[in-house]
């Protein structure tokens, strides 16, 4: 009887939760576990918890007759893929910057570990088995809590000389201003794509335009308000102002997103483009103006580039992280 090939563990380590799965050599996710990320406990505590999560999956895999040969991690932050160290991170995970991610997990587990930024892992998953499978080059841009991206070329994400490649939310957007003043960005600069096109930015735009927090408490509420039909306008002048603010915020965020992706397509000329993140899942209210703005931006030879919605859902980063050690 021929022994089966070893499986691997793929890990998606984010600011609020860490998900991991046992992944077969063909990319099938066989079993998963999720834990809260200890984002205020420091890097060593996160490594301890993540190692325990992985060890539990290794045991479950063994019980099912599968050996595990390695661990791939897609992590929040800028990850030096050569040293395995977290170069920098936002305050979403305090004490994460400087953490020896790869060596820390490897020493705890006794397994080889590789790591990249979580958006690169997400894009690699989509390029391997998802929306851009079979493409020699693909651009994935994710619009959600933030804006991130990755360019996958011949099966590998382009990380950049300093491993900062993919920070596509941090270049200028003409939409990222209010009354002529550039909107502040979470990176500390202003006027960036993320300052107008992320989910939180859409909510802030809604409030700036006069929308009432009592009618929309978050970004999801803004979308619900923007989608409300003409019958809802009987709610009075305050409701009408808030609904107009919601429509404007969604349209501006979507247009900024599309223009940004269109510009990136002009620069990179990818075979396939994949749009991911919570806003991509928000439906036609966001997708249609986003794609219209994207198409307006394109140079003529790029007019027919496929623009697809990501297809792997929450498993994309786990699958992509696993691919790091299945290469």
pLDDT score at 327: 66
pLDDT score at 132: 98
Is residue 125 domain-resident?
yes
Whether residue 123 is found in the same domain as residue 142: no
Instruction: Taking the CA atoms of 272, 275, 276 and 280 in sequence, report the sign of the dihedral they define.
Output: negative
- List the domain range (segments joined by +) for residue 177: 137-310
Euclidean distance between CA atoms 257 and 165, whole angstroms: 18
Whether residue 209 is found in the same domain as residue 291: yes
The set of residues, in sequence order, having a beta carbon less than 8 Å from that of 222 and lying 6+ positions away, is 202, 203, 206, 211, 216, 246, 249, 250
Is residue 2 domain-resident?
no
Task: Please give the DSSP secondary-structure letter assigned to residue 4.
Answer: P
Whether residue 109 is found in the same domain as residue 220: no
> Structural domain tally of the chain?
2
pLDDT score at 227: 95
Is residue 226 domain-resident?
yes
Question: Which residue has tokens 């009408």?
Answer: 240
Whether residue 61 is found in the same domain as residue 185: no
pLDDT score at 1: 36
pLDDT score at 231: 59
pLDDT score at 70: 98
Is residue 1 domain-resident?
no
Whether residue 23 is found in the same domain as residue 87: yes
Whether residue 82 is found in the same domain as residue 25: yes
Q: Are 8 and 325 in contact (CB under 8 A)?
A: yes
Whether residue 282 is found in the same domain as residue 149: yes
Is residue 266 domain-resident?
yes
Is residue 243 domain-resident?
yes
Whether residue 164 is found in the same domain as residue 272: yes
Residues of the chain whose pLDDT is less than 50? 1-2
pLDDT score at 238: 84
Of 9, 59, 14, 10, give the one whose Cα is nearest residue 35.
14
* CATH code at position 17: 3.30.420.40
Whether residue 122 is found in the same domain as residue 196: no
Whether residue 271 is found in the same domain as residue 144: yes
Whether residue 318 is found in the same domain as residue 305: no
Whether residue 161 is found in the same domain as residue 295: yes
Is residue 12 domain-resident?
yes
């Amino acid at each position: 009887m021929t022994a089966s090939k070893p499986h691997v563990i793929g890990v998606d380590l984010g600011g609020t939760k860490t998900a991991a799965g046992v992944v077969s050599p063909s990319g099938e996710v066989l079993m998963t576990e999720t834990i809260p990320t200890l984002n205020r406990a420091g890097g060593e505590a996160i490594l301890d918890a993540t190692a325990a999560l992985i060890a539990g999956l290794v045991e479950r895999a063994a019980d099912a007759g599968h050996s595990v040969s390695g661990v791939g991690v897609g992590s929040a932050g800028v990850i030096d893929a050569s040293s395995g160290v977290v170069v920098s991170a936002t305050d979403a995970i305090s004490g994460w910057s400087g953490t020896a991610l790869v060596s820390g997990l490897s020493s705890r587990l006794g397994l080889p570990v590789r790591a990249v930024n979580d958006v690169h892992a997400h894009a690699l998953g989509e390029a391997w088995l998802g929306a851009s499978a079979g493409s020699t080059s693909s651009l994935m841009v994710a619009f959600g809590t933030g804006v991130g991206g990755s360019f996958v070329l011949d099966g590998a994400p382009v990380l950049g000389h300093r491993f900062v490649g993919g920070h596509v939310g941090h270049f200028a957007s003409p939409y990222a201003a209010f009354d002529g003043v550039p909107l502040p960005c979470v990176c500390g600069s202003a006027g960036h794509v993320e300052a107008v096109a992320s989910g939180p930015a859409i909510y802030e735009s809604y409030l700036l335009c006069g929308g009432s927090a009592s009618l929309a408490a978050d970004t999801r509420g803004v979308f619900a308000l923007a989608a409300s039909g003409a019958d809802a306008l009987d709610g009075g002048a305050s409701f009408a102002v808030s609904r107009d603010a919601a429509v404007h915020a969604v349209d501006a965020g979507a247009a900024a997103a599309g223009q940004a992706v269109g510009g990136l397509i002009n620069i990179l000329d990818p075979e396939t483009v994949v749009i991911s993140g919570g806003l991509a899942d928000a439906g036609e209210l966001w997708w249609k103006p986003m794609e219209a703005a994207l198409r307006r931006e394109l140079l003529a030879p790029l007019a027919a580039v496929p623009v697809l919605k990501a297809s792997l859902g929450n498993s994309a980063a786990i699958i992509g992280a696993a691919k790091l050690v299945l290469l």
